[in-house]
Copies of this chain bind each other. A is one copy, B any other.
């Protein structure tokens, strides 16, 4: 197997691993994970990690409830076995077993008969989308609640209901999964995704799937960088990991959060807090040359775990890669973010983009022209002969000239690609050719 992405210049060819059915394979993984009731702690997230382990050897870390992680405490572990609201005839009119979105995540146990009025104080709906069930959580305030379609809500009769939530909120552990792929250096690329949402496909089973398959495809590739894949409960998971790994984060040279990459929308890359990091330049370049619609947005301290990686004490160069941004589509955090909402081909293309970005990171460096006074004679080295009259040929010739001209040790290949307007892969191929001819050496 080898690893060169379609638009990338990584040193192994991806066609083996990135076959046309990678989209289908990622979609199947999402299908397996979809029914599981995940939360920020509990068996759901552990079961999820178990499924991922069938693809990549995740290491699971269990952190006890009550552990101080910076300003936070690791919370109690939440587990749920059953939950329902039943009418006077004993019919379960809202049933956790039909959709785990029906229960507000982290609901405390309850078993009571309540009036409709009292019940309504614990119900959540989406009046604008009357068929959809919202996704709600209450991690840090002990309460209980049910989510249901607004249509069903309107049909509720004014009678008494039996409410049962068979959950537990007890001392236990917060679990996260980690996969570290060592490279030539300890400098690392961090890929982080949250794994705590229940039956929601785009947010974030899509991120989990693409991260898993990216990891898989990098296993057999030579790697200049080490790669660290994190599967975490959002916010508290990233905070916990950062707290336990504070001394190692200086190794992180590039990183991105992966989420919402399965829908059919255009791409969104949200820049790191730094804003001018290598990862920001790499995503911007790859997206600009992708032919796909995309948007580059500025960092804001709201969204996913880039908030934590980009807190001022860390200020890590970690962006966030999505298709439609969080909150920018109505299906977000509702039962409509289901298996129909994500598409194999969207997953596949998202994977191609991140592989191209990894290709840029891997290959990007500065070179020094060893023949810097005037242009070297390309013709006598056979480099000019390869240049035909067609556009490809002209790009290749221009790439040779650009690399020679700009390789003064002060410009990276990515910068040369940007200045020339040529794709990184064209510039990298030119650099390889010039290096093999001794006309270029790597900058100190």
Which residues does A use to contact B, with CB under 8 Å?
69-72, 140-141, 235, 238-239, 242-243, 246, 273, 300-302, 307-308, 310-315, 369, 371-377, 379-380, 398, 401-402, 404-408, 420
Contact = CB atoms under 8 A, between A and B. Distances in A.
Contacts of A239: 374-375
A308 B406 CA distance: 13
A220 B125 CA distance: 52
Contacts of A420: 300
Given A140-B380, A302-B398, A310-B405, 5 more contacts: A273-B405, A301-B398, A301-B402, A311-B374, A312-B404
Contact of A374 (B302, B308, B369): B308
A239 B375 CA distance: 8
A372 B312 contact: yes
Contact of A312 (B302, B311, B398, B405): B405
Contact of A140 (B243, B308, B312, B379): B379
Oligomeric state, in copies? 3
20 contacts: A69-B374, A70-B374, A70-B376, A71-B376, A72-B377, A140-B377, A140-B380, A141-B379, A238-B374, A243-B373, A301-B404, A301-B406, A302-B401, A311-B369, A311-B374, A311-B375, A311-B404, A313-B372, A313-B373, A314-B373
A312 B374 CA distance: 8
A91 to B, nearest CB: 33
B301 A373 contact: no
A70 B371 contact: yes
B246 A373 contact: yes
A158 to B, nearest CB: 27
Nearest to A381: B71
Nearest to A394: B302
A313 B369 CA distance: 9
Contacts of A407: 312
A71 B312 contact: no
A371 B71 contact: yes
A143 to B, nearest CB: 13
A314 B375 CA distance: 11
Contact of A377 (B71, B401, B404): B71
Given A140-B380, A312-B405, A405-B273, A373 B307 contact: no
Contacts of A401: 301-302, 307
Contacts of A375: 71, 235, 239, 301, 307-308, 311
A242 B301 contact: no
Considering residues A310, A315, A375, which has the most beta carbons from chain B within 10 angstroms of its beta carbon? A375
Contacts of A379: 140-141
A146 B236 CA distance: 76
A311 B70 contact: no
Contacts of A70: 371, 373-374, 376
Contacts of A315: 408
Contacts of A308: 374-375
